Amino acid sequence: MDITTLDFFQTQNIIKSRAVSCVEITQKYLTNIAAKKSLNSFISVFHDAALERAEQIDRKIDAGAAGKLAGCTLGIKDLLTLKGAPTTCGSRILANFRSPYNATAIEKLASHDAIFLGKTNMDEFAMGSSTESSCFGAVKNPHDLERVPGGSSGGSAAAVAGNLCTAALGSDTGGSIRQPASFCGIVGLKPTYGRVSRFGLVAYASSLDQIGPMSKSVHDAALLLSCIAGHDPLDSTSARLPVDDYLSFLDKDVHGVRIGLPKEYFAKGLDPEVEKPIREKAELLRKAGAEIVEVSLPHTEYAIAAYYIIAMAEASSNLARFDGARYGFRAANVKDIEEMYVKSRTQGFGEEVKRRIMLGTYALSSGYYDAYYRKAQKVRTLVKKDFEDALARVDCLLTPVAPTTAFKLNEKLADPLIMYLSDVYTVSLNLAGLPGISVPCGVDSKDLPVGLQLIGKPFAEGTIIQVADYIEKNSW
């Protein structure tokens, strides 16, 4: 049996039986990382530090003092800070930067004895849907090396799907956990905005970003969320609400659960090979006693435009701090500070990031603020109201994650607008701040994974975990 193919729930039982040690597990994953470099899923690997930590945790297990994540090996998206480790955000402009502190999510995982294997590759500053914009090169999908893993958390998704780690952390601004999870055939959970502290997360769009787990099973996603969720005084946007016992929502039936199918998400543009397995899972839930009803989200068609205006405007503001003066990349052979700023940012940022900074700056500029940014925020309010109305009738929504399965490398790079439409079913959740989960539900004719999305009410992650777990355990 190859232990690297197992989820943490299965691995944990083997560890408890003393059939395998944390050091042995860690070494197996490190061996896989070295053997599968072609995936390009890791930017940095903490080989010695991971083995040393595994030894420490083995001693804690022997003493009966180990945490709930003892033996869980994790990949960390490289926009979460880990003290003493590189944090590049997939960008040249953060070359050689090492964080002096841990993100709150990292601190919480460490307190439960997780083992960090390394930092995973990503679209530069999380701006992308294919993980092709990283300065470290494109990540490849483990199911087909000629296809993308999705983005921007493509390195995390490929690492989990390729058995290079037990699970991983990603971030989701407009679908960056859920879409790569769908493309790679794993579970990806985006919590409610404010459910997980963003302290130590390098911001792309502060009102949209959220950290979440990417895993081989719904169980592992629920466990990891339970470890990282909760209020944090270092993040003023984190919610002062109690954290549910997410594991208690597992192994339940779905009898009586009301599930809505938004008609706008099953319209023109959805690949029939994606729609078919999703419809089949809806029927599975209906036969199990769930009530399936059609609902409407009438402002869906405006969500993409509103999202990209808001996200790019916030990116323009957030990325102003990367100027070559304090840390990271600095251009050489400059005559004054203004030239240093211009050349450092021109040479340090990639094309997609520069495109979004310029568009965001334009949307915020005098004379255009009301026409673009303010109008986008009004649309955001309408999108949020759509969800409130729909979720007043049902317990959760069931939708596609993406209109297609994983597309080929370089297929959409020439047309950014086509690339942006990959997020058509995911960005609305971020605008509304709602929780969503992608769970595998089948494959297309090319044997590429198809993901199904469940959308919950604010801070009702338990409901979507319950339904996702039922789908996972009754689909094969």
Instruction: Answer yes or no: 111 catalytic.
Output: no
Distances (CA, A) of 248 to 13, 78, 241, 352, 454: 18, 31, 18, 42, 18
Q: Count CA within 13 A, CB hemisphere, residue 112.
A: 18
Q: What is the DSSP annotation of 325-354?
A: SSSS---SS-SSHHHHHHHHHHHHS-HHHH
Q: Are 379 and 306 in contact (CB under 8 A)?
A: yes
Pairing of strands 187-190, 436-443: antiparallel
Longest CA pairwise span in the chain (Å): 72
Question: Beta 167-171 vs 115-120: how paired, if at all?
Answer: unpaired
> Among the options 99, 152, 197, 226, which is catalytic?
152
CA–CA separation, 102 and 451 (whole Å): 32
Q: What share of the chain is helix, strand, coil (3-state, %, to 5)?
A: 45, 15, 40
Please give the span between the terminal C-alpha atoms of the chain, in angstroms, as a whole number: 20
Non-local CB neighbours of 404 within 8 Å, separated by 6+ positions: 271, 274, 422
What does the CA dihedral 351, 353, 356, 362 come to, rounded to 10 degrees? -90
Cα 160 to Cα 17: distance, rounded to the nearest angstrom: 24
For tokens 């304090």, the residue is 326
- Per the annotation, the verdict on 77 as an active-site residue is yes
What is the spatial distance between Cα 374 and Cα 368, in angstroms, rounded to a whole number?
9
Identify the active-site residue in 176, 215, 344, 438: 176
User: Exactly one of 36, 44, 77, 153 is catalytic; which is it?
Assistant: 77
Question: What is the residue-wise DSSP string for 36-83?
Answer: TGGG--EEEE-HHHHHHHHHHHHHHHHTT---TTTT-EEEEETTB--T
- Alpha carbons 118 and 80: distance in angstroms, whole number: 11
- Give just the sign of the alpha carbon dihedral 359, 361, 364, 366: negative
User: Is 457 considered catalytic here?
Assistant: no
Give the catalytic positions in this structure: 77, 152, 176
